[in-house]
Structure 1
């Protein structure tokens, strides 16, 4: 028997057979893009922007060279735009309506705002021991140092908590909190002059309290902090109406910070008990620096809003109290914005529709925050002794600072901390250099609001 076995006797020749070759899969369609659109139809139908389709193509491993050879488009973005135009939007509803991952209760946020504001009552108890402008400058220098340091420290600890490593967060607080207390005390000593020992002592206690309170807040122990502040807060309220002896004032000023310090030490010792060797890939130290700059800048602006042109500390107090108390509602409204933007992603059918939905959510949340700030400032002016009458310029400045702070916190929450820190830092420097009473905070507030809308009006900014 001769010849290939697959030939019949009549067909056997001394030639090689023609082996059939399969056609490429895309050759069945007139245009390979149509076949790709059909294969990815479900994902393309649900896309809000062509960039989402480009991300899908790149995640599938499609390089620009492959796209040029196979589909005749220059890159993934051009192919994504073509697919976006070919497939209409349908946005199919999920079988089970997803929950709102950004929903938080209002009460815990209000509680955090309260514990932010209550330490200010210590200045009421300590007022008889600090006379003149120099001791106040010592206290403010120490407070601003602690504000900046502890903002950066809190970011580092929160990052470790986000990575699921609570012992590492406790270890970061255990090292960073004492260093922050030393920094605040050192700056207060450097700002003090002769005969200002009482002011330095008060600043040292203030620095210890700031460090310990940061520990409790980061570890979610707001209720313990509130309980520890109760004696001092009650004493300060009594001191507003009655003459409290100096000895009693000193005891009240010492008891609450000491209690906070003991509670924070206990939390850190328990948290770091299971500490292991640091795992690789942790947060970089420099990544927390912009948060410290943002904290310092907002601290300067809050003090400016409270003290600019005020005849006395008592007259300026309602502005500072309103801003600090408003941080609780501000935090809750940041979560409400997240929820609103998530609803916009689900309901919008075009990028333009989503941008307008985001603008509405942003305006609503910012307006609600400013309304809360107005109510708090008005109540403070009514009930605070020697607060003075209504000052339109300072009131407008307070609203501008509030806008600046809330939009800065919003951008920071979406990862744009460098932008927020930069704008707020420039505004704080302008204030320190003697810029107009409304020019610096007003310009910065408008700029941050515009940047927030420009950044958050894109669907890709809301991933994760």
Structure 2
């Protein structure tokens, strides 16, 4: 047939058309986000919020520029949301209970609270050194140099403690001891000079007492930073026994001074022995490691300033209000200092419980709810302890003022400020905590200097505002899952 093509028996005759290969479809390139999701599947499946995935990406060193180039997303948070949506939630049970990095023994925390409070008995034993007519402000003799020296010591030693703990966190105990060896004596000299400069006519004995207080604070900083609380407790025994003896006996002034000096010498001796025991051996790689920056300790010093002013104001508001003796400040001061032991334990407890809630929660809302409940329980527990200590101290302390509503409210609000500020500090938000505490303390000092308000009224109002601000900061910070990662 004309025009037909005969293909032959197998279709491969001479007149067959040339074979044209069929174009195959190109293989679809693998999605890099799917590959990343497969590689990180176990970590993503266990996350309770995209922010936790973002934290993992950032810890792996992924920059936003790399994420835009490789995965086509703007930043780690956008990529984390995509990964979180692609992987099904899965929470495999742990083979064994995970170790709790925030476990703290209650007896050890109570011991620290005790060594915080016992130095207050030095004012009872050293009362003859602080005797005299009221100063130019109408306050008991020696009040101004003692307060000036104490606040200076708290600021300096708070910053010094942070630097020592920073070295300890790097595993370099000799460097921590070196920082304490250089900083503690310098802080003692500075505090003593400030107290001397603040003393007025006839207050030389009070300045000497403040100098001893400065030396004790320096020694205590060394011993507490190196974990030698028991040594500090032993050093305080002569002073404690002497203060107890003044209740039943009229101890001569020479004996009072001798017991104070004995405790001071013991604390300084224990601190010197502790520093000698931490002397470096052969150095090593730790010596070449860059150390913590000095500037990083400044916020901690400011935190010590703010909290120190708040504590002193709460303790001596009645002294400033009525010009009464320092004995009226003792119950409040003892209650606040003794409460620091349980406060420390409750801080560890909160971190432990919030970490357990992070592991158990399956949604971000569930985690925030569990965290809020834990926070309420721990804060309520601390305030209940502070209330009990205040009531007992007021009942037992001779000459203590009545436990009025304003005094109790101010003390509890101050305790709330201290505990929430310490909580923020433990999560690394020390700048925010220091700013709020310094602002509150500054307002209190300003009102005292100008006479703008009655001390008993100003204290609760300022502490209440600071407590509300800190509560807002705590809610904003601790509601984020990534804040609780170890």
The two structures have a TM-score, normalised by structure 1, of: 0.90
* CA drift at 1:351: 1.1
Gaps of 5+ in 2: 1-20, 135-139, 448-452
The change in CA–CA distance for 1:112 and 1:38 in structure 2 (over 3 A counts) is same
Q: Tell me the equivalent position of 1:306.
A: 315
Report the Cα distance in structure 1 between the residues aligned to 2:69 and 2:216, rounded to whole angstroms: 65
Partner residue of 1:108?
A: 108
Match of 2:459 in 1: 437
Aligned length: 448
Change (3 A) 1:363 1:137: same
When the two chains are superposed, the root-mean-square deviation of aligned CA atoms in Å is 2.7
Aligned: 1:141 with 2:148: yes
- List alignment gaps of at least 5 residues for structure 1: 1-16
Aligned residue number for residue 176 of structure 1: 183
What CA deviation, in whole Å up to 9, does each residue of 1:17-65 have, x standing for no partner?
Answer: 99999946627xxxx7556545543222211111222344556676667
Give the aligned partner of residue 158 of structure 1: 165
Give the secondary-structure state (helix, strand or coil) at the position aligned to 1:91: coil
Partner of 2:16: none
Partner of residue 473, structure 2: 451
* Residue number in structure 1 paired with 2:298: 289
Give TM-score scaled by structure 2 length.
0.86
* Pairing 1:275-286 to 2, within 5 Å after superposition: 276=283, 278-286=287-295
Q: How far off its partner does 1:256 sit?
A: 0.3
**CA distance in structure 1 between the aligned counterparts of 2:391 and 2:306, rounded to whole angstroms:** 25
Q: Which residue of 1 aligns with 2:206?
A: 199
Deviation, structure 1 residue 68: 5.9
Q: Is the 8 A contact 2:129 2:209 kept in 1?
A: no
User: How far 1:196 sits from its partner (Å)?
Assistant: 1.8
Q: C-alpha separation between the residues in 2 aligned to 1:452 and 1:437? A: 22
Equivalent runs, 1:364-383 vs 2, <5 Å: 364-383=377-396
> Which residue of structure 2 aligns with residue 10 of structure 1?
none
The whole-number CA distance in structure 2 between the counterparts of 1:327 and 1:61 is: 39
2:263 aligned partner = 256
Q: Which moved more, 1:60-69 or 1:308-317?
A: 60-69
Residues 90-129 of structure 1: per-residue CA shift (max 9 Å, x gap): 2111222212221111001000000011011000011122
Give distance in 1, aligned partners of 2:58 and 2:432: 29
Checking the alignment, whether the CA contact within 8 Å between 1:135 and 1:192 is kept in structure 2 is yes
1:114/1:325 contact within 8 Å kept: yes
Partner of 1:336: 349
Change in Cα spacing, 1:61 to 1:362, as seen in structure 2 (3 Å) is closer
Paired with 2:143 and 2:67, the residues of 1 have a C-alpha distance of: 67
**Corresponding residue of 2:413:** 400
Q: 1:395 to 1:62 in 2, by over 3 A?
A: closer
Tell me the distance in 2 between the aligned counterparts of 1:272 and 1:63: 42
Partner-residue secondary structure (3-state), 1:415:
coil
Alpha-carbon shift at residue 242 of structure 1 (Å)? 2.4
Given that residues 150 and 211 in structure 1 are in contact (C-alpha distance below 8 angstroms), is that contact kept between their aligned partners in structure 2?
yes
1:299-331, Cα deviation, whole Å (9 max, x unpaired): 111111111134432122111100000111111
**What is the aligned counterpart of 1:347 among 360, 380, 384?**
360
Aligned CA distance change for structure 1 residues 373 and 58 (closer, same or farther; 3 Å):
closer
- In structure 2, the partner of 1:417 is 430
- The CA deviation at 1:395 is 0.6
Answer yes or no: is the 8 Å Cα contact 1:232–1:253 preserved in 2.
Answer: yes
Pairwise CA distance, 1:82? 2.8
Bigger mean CA deviation after superposition, 37-46 or 283-292: 37-46
Q: Which moved more, 1:196-205 or 1:370-379?
A: 196-205
Structure 2 partner of 1:389 = 402
